[in-house]
Structure 1
Amino acid sequence: MSHANDRPLIAVEGLGISLNTSRGRALAVREVSFTLRRGETLGLVGESGCGKSITALALMGLLPDSAVISGSVKLDGGELVGLSDPDYCRLRGNRISMIFQEPMTALNPMHTIGRQVAEPLRRHKKLSAAEAREQAIALLDRVGLPDAARRVDAYPHQFSGGQRQRVTIAMALACQPDVLIADEPTTALDVTIQRQILDLIADLVEERGMAMILISHDLGVIAENVRRMMVMYGGTVVESGTTEQVFSRMGHPYTQGLFRARPRLGAKKGTRLRTIAGTVPELADLPDGCTFADRCPLVIERCRAALPAAFDIGGGHRVRCIRTDVSMAGAVAEAGA
């Protein structure tokens, strides 16, 4: 018999999202499935436009009104697809929170940071203004904002980029959510501040037993910060597994391409980064078959016939490619060269 505490905190099954574009409706996400338990961390990685952020916005109930969602998204056993807006508002910022990519668009320039961090506490926890302010100061202090008690009444423009990102983290964590989604949380920050912010998020996730989804285009960030990962391309998951599995046996040509394209320490000055030929297809132009077919060095006619199924290549490591044996043999040969 299964117990309630055995079930995943988040369970996504067969998620599909179609959006209106200038060229008609387009399937932005298809056949995305994953589960996440309390304390687990999951990374979504891929180039811009591959469906990472849209998947996260679907979990938050923040898709455009014209979006059509199929499949299932459950939070603690309760279905979120089709949930009314007032019901979603009770969850958002309370049980499920998001740290957005650009803090200046996430923060309201007209309100003090203290008021913005206190707002979810007043709305969801029904704290008084004084109690919420006290907790806001404690949160800002916890996320490492210098002199939080004195600066709580300052406005977003009075802070640096790294400090603003700390404020958005305090907002996201105010109600101690069950699920935290971090969407490229360090893109605009320099490397030192990036490390501090990622360490801070990791500490808070562990401290509070939250589940976390970290979205990034940076394989290094994913490697160091999550236990499991999904590589997305053209709105589908092309490879998934534990981070260790995916990095040790990259089965999809796209994952291999991302890995080869990363900057390397110690490379000679002037060394050109390797790139993946071609560009990410527009949503309205996604092919019927493998979404990576037009850029793949191993493509054969059968790749274009239908979207490949995801095959388990061992221990839950899944790859959506009919030529996995060829691609992995090539990767092994290259590694040994």
Structure 2
Amino acid sequence: MLEIEGVSIRFGDNPEAVSDTTFTVYDGDRLAVVGETGSGKSVLLLAALGLLPSSARITGSIRLNGRELLGCREQELNRIRGKEIAYIPQGSGNGLNPLFTVGHQLCETIRKHQRCTRREALIQAAMLLESFGLEQSEALCRSYPFQLSGGMRQRVLIAMGIAAGAGLVLADEPTKGLDRHRIALVEDAFQRLGERTLLCVTHDLHFAQTISSRVVVMYASQQIESGDSTSFFGEPLHPYSRAMLDALPENGLQANMGFAPPRKDTIAQSACHFYDRCAWRTGQCRKAPPLIEVGERAVRCWKYAH
């Protein structure tokens, strides 16, 4: 459905924000892109939506059902966004306009892509809210965002994203700023997406494990590992992935990655980006490794080269 091939993104003369990233989101897929803040996750998502500033220099290809998105005119992107691709921005529902009611904002989205009356759109909006477990939907439609909890606002944003019937949902840090109870509500909302395809950027590993069937790991602008979620969370391949999972509380906070993450402008382009923090490094790691296939998975680490 969505093919990202050899994508690199740079802003001005700064180091690359995303470097040579390739993966495919298949129809009906649930793919989570995980990694530290600044690894390039959200930038990649915004590139697919055509929402990066004009200073961004993008190479590679991003195709939706075979159609190239990079270089699309704004008018065409406006038609695609909402109708074919739903976007759920990061934060605890802060993407909602505080000056308009929930119903007004949902109806606006529905009527932009469908020929219907306001009354018909309002009925659709109420039914959509109920499908995400939001009760008393008619009263909710008359409410303003500040009257809702963070978890409720995030579920409204998810409903708004798919209101026009998009089959592909792109979500950017949907649990950011939420406590565990509200995160559980968002997890439930994602489970209610049905057969829609999901590409979710998140730093919350518990959330990623709950909602995804496949995982892509980003580190210092690079894609360093990809594979199915069960294999990844059971036996990660890349040393960074292992350290990241070891750092979870239930694993004893036992990660040891040595030095702090490198600034991108200090990374030697000829070396593995994880070189300075890796306990497994050898002399070969002074040369940047390619993505190496390991069964149905892939990892950017010389340890798996044969």
Write out aligned runs for 1:284-323 (5 A): 284-288=265-269, 289-305=271-287, 307-314=288-295, 316-323=296-303
Q: Which residue of the partner structure matches residue 172 of structure 2? A: 183
Deviations 1:247-301 (A, max 9, x none): 3332211001101101117x6xxxx654533333334334302111122122234
Structure 2 residue runs of 5 or longer lacking an equivalent are none
Write out aligned runs for 1:17-96 (5 A): 17-20=9-12, 24-96=13-85
- Say if 1:50 and 1:280, in contact at 8 Å, map to a contact too: no
Q: Which residue of the partner structure matches residue 335 of structure 1? A: none
Q: Which residue of the partner structure matches residue 230 of structure 1? A: 216
Deviation at 1:235, TM superposition (A): 1.1
Deviation at 1:17, TM superposition (A): 0.9
Deviation at 1:19, TM superposition (A): 1.4
Deviations 1:305-326 (A, max 9, x none): 3x31111122x2111011348x
- Say if 1:60 and 1:97, in contact at 8 Å, map to a contact too: no
- Say if 2:151 and 2:185, in contact at 8 Å, map to a contact too: no
- Say if 1:43 and 1:226, in contact at 8 Å, map to a contact too: yes
Q: Which residue of the partner structure matches residue 135 of structure 2? A: 146
Deviations 1:198-249 (A, max 9, x none): 1221222x2xx21101222232222222111111101111111111222333
Give percent identity, aligned residues only. 35
Give RMSD over aligned pairs.
Answer: 1.9
Count residues with an aligned counterpart: 304
SS of 2:82 mapped into structure 1: coil
Normalised TM-score (structure 1)? 0.85
Q: Which residue of the partner structure matches residue 5 of structure 1? A: none
Q: Which residue of the partner structure matches residue 258 of structure 2? A: 277
Is 2:219 aligned against 1:254? no
2: CA distance between counterparts of 1:58 and 1:78?
15
2: CA distance between counterparts of 1:67 and 1:42?
25
SS of 2:225 mapped into structure 1: strand
Deviations 1:174-212 (A, max 9, x none): 0121211122212222222212221221222x2xx2110
2:184 to 195, 209, 212: 195
Normalised TM-score (structure 2)? 0.93
2: CA distance between counterparts of 1:193 and 1:37?
29
Letter in 2 for 1:42: L
Letter in 1 for 2:290: A
Structure 1 residue runs of 5 or longer lacking an equivalent are 1-8, 326-337
